[in-house]
């Protein structure tokens, strides 16, 4: 009887064990959103706490399971056994009870100590990381003395359904018409203080391989710190349900060398280049103004009124679109690079113009302003696309208007946006 029980358990245990081993292969741990492949001190601390918990659970499982198997084997019914008298329920064994209570307390302490240490560690930039993370220690541009002695700060503002990144010490803010939507750039090996807030509902900031997750609360400021120790292209997302497009609320993190970061900051402060006269891009620029895109979007050097939607001054340099949902890189080239590069999923090919243009037409044309074959607005790329609610608002009549863009107008608008590098 017992042998049959073991054989049946083996039928279940063997595939489960094989599945567990397969799931822990190196190839599977380096996927884009894996927390089991930490790339910074905060992520490493969180990973260590997780593994401490896993090993404790394994030990407890083996002990409890072993005792259960021992009891089944030791006290199993045997041929010829006579019925044992029913024993009255008693108090039990005091030593066993004390041992179990002590073991439980020990297990809680084993988990609580590293967990609380991790919470305190990840709350703010530790003292040992401050000297090498001061702006004066690595940033190549002249800075005000008071600013130069500070740690780099990035303000993260959550909106339905995208993130806005601002660098107040470096003059890259929404008020200055130089904010950065959905793609955060940080220097390698530098601690960065992240200030979190929301302009609508609760969101959560999470970069699985670097750090997270901390909530963005309306009416309240939260903070955390991150540090990435390897150059590469990382993936983040909102981790708190926030409405229709929560699952599509993604962002990217580009980790670069400090010298490259200084160049990036200088480039972000520059206005968009002029558009060639008589070109299709100029037609698109005129459409951008005529179709009320300027009501929500800023384009430095071209249009400066919009502040509600993402800043588009350097749109054509971004590797993603539509809240980081659409990838502007060539998909085949990107997959091939990820399979061959030592960086794996952190490796990145440059922006592909043809892919980017197709994404622009798909994104703008899906916002409810482009007619499909049946003459009706086309389906959104992702739920909750609000461009047709805000951009197509008839200010004079105070009513929503679903203006339709033709294929030629979409093409011209895409050509204009592709000049914004």
CATH number, domain containing residue 330: 1.10.760
Residue 419 has pLDDT above 80, yes or no: yes
Q: Kindly state the percentage of the chain with pLDDT values over 90.
A: 37
Residues 6 or more apart from 195 whose CB is under 8 A from it? 153, 154, 155, 156, 221, 222, 223
Mean pLDDT of 100-124: 88
| Burial per residue of 227-261, b for 16 or more beta-carbon CB atoms within 10 angstroms, e otherwise | bbeebbbbbbbbbbebeebbebbbbbbbbbeeebb
Is the per-residue pLDDT at 293 higher than 80?
yes
Q: Are both 20 and 116 inside the same structural domain? A: yes
CATH number of the domain within which 220 lies: 2.60.40.420
Q: Assess whether 285 and 377 both reside in one domain.
A: yes
Going along 146-221, which residue ranges are E strands? Answer: 153-159, 162-166, 180-181, 183-187, 192-198, 203-207, 211-216
**pLDDT higher than threshold 70 for residue 320:** yes
Higher pLDDT, 175 or 315: 315
Question: What is the span of the domain harbouring residue 13?
Answer: 2-75+91-123
**What is the per-residue pLDDT for 164?**
93
Asked if 245 and 288 sit in the same domain, the reply is no
Q: What is the pLDDT of residue 367?
A: 57
Q: For residues 403 and 382, state if they share a domain.
A: yes
Pair (68, 194) in one structural domain: no
Residue 233 host element (H or E) = strand 232-238
What value does the mean pLDDT take over residues 263-270? 90
pTM of this structure = 0.81
Query: If pLDDT is split at 50, 70 and 90, which confidence band does 374 have?
Result: low
């Amino acid at each position: 009887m017992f042998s049959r029980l073991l054989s049946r358990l083996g039928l279940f245990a063997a595939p489960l064990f094989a599945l567990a081993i397969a799931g822990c292969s190196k190839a599977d741990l380096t996927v884009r959103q894996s927390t089991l492949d930490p790339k910074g001190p905060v992520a490493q601390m969180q990973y260590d706490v997780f593994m401490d918990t896993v090993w404790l659970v394994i030990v407890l499982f083996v002990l409890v399971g072993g005792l259960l198997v021992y009891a089944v084997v030791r006290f199993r019914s045997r041929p010829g056994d006579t019925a044992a008298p029913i024993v009255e329920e008693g108090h039990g064994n005091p030593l066993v009870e004390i041992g179990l209570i002590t073991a439980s307390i020990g297990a809680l302490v084993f988990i609580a100590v590293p967990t609380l240490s991790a919470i305190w560690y990840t709350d703010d930039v530790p003292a040992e990381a401050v000297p090498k993370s001061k702006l004066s220690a690595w940033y190549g541009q002249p800075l005000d003395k008071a600013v130069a002695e500070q740690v780099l700060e990035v303000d993260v503002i959550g909106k339905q359904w995208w993130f806005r990144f601002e660098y107040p010490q470096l003059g890259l803010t929404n008020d200055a018409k130089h904010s950065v939507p959905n793609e955060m750039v940080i220097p390698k090996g530098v601690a960065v203080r992240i200030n979190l807030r929301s302009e609508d509902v609760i969101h959560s900031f999470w970069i699985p391989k670097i750090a997270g997750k901390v909530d963005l609360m309306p009416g309240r400021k939260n903070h955390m710190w991150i540090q990435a120790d390897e150059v590469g292209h990382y993936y983040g997302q909102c981790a708190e349900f926030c409405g229709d497009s929560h699952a599509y609320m993604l962002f990217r993190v580009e980790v670069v060398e400090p010298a490259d970061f200084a160049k990036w900051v200088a480039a972000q402060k520059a206005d968009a280049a002029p558009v060639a006269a008589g070109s299709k891009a100029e037609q698109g620029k005129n459409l951008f103004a005529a179709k009320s895109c300027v009501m929500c979007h800023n384009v430095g050097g071209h249009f400066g009124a919009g502040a509600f939607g993402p800043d588009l001054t350097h749109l054509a340099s971004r590797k993603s679109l539509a809240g980081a949902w659409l990838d502007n890189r060539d998909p085949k080239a990107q997959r091939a690079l990820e399979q061959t590069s030592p960086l794996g999923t952190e490796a990145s090919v440059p922006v592909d113009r043809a892919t980017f243009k197709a994404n622009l037409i798909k994104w703008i044309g899906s916002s409810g302003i482009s007619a499909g074959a049946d003459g009706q607005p086309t389906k959104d790329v992702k739920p909750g696309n609000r461009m047709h609610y805000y951009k197509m608002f008839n200010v004079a009549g105070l009513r929503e208007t679903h203006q339709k863009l033709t294929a030629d107008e979409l093409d011209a608008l895409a050509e204009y946006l592709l000049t914004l590098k």
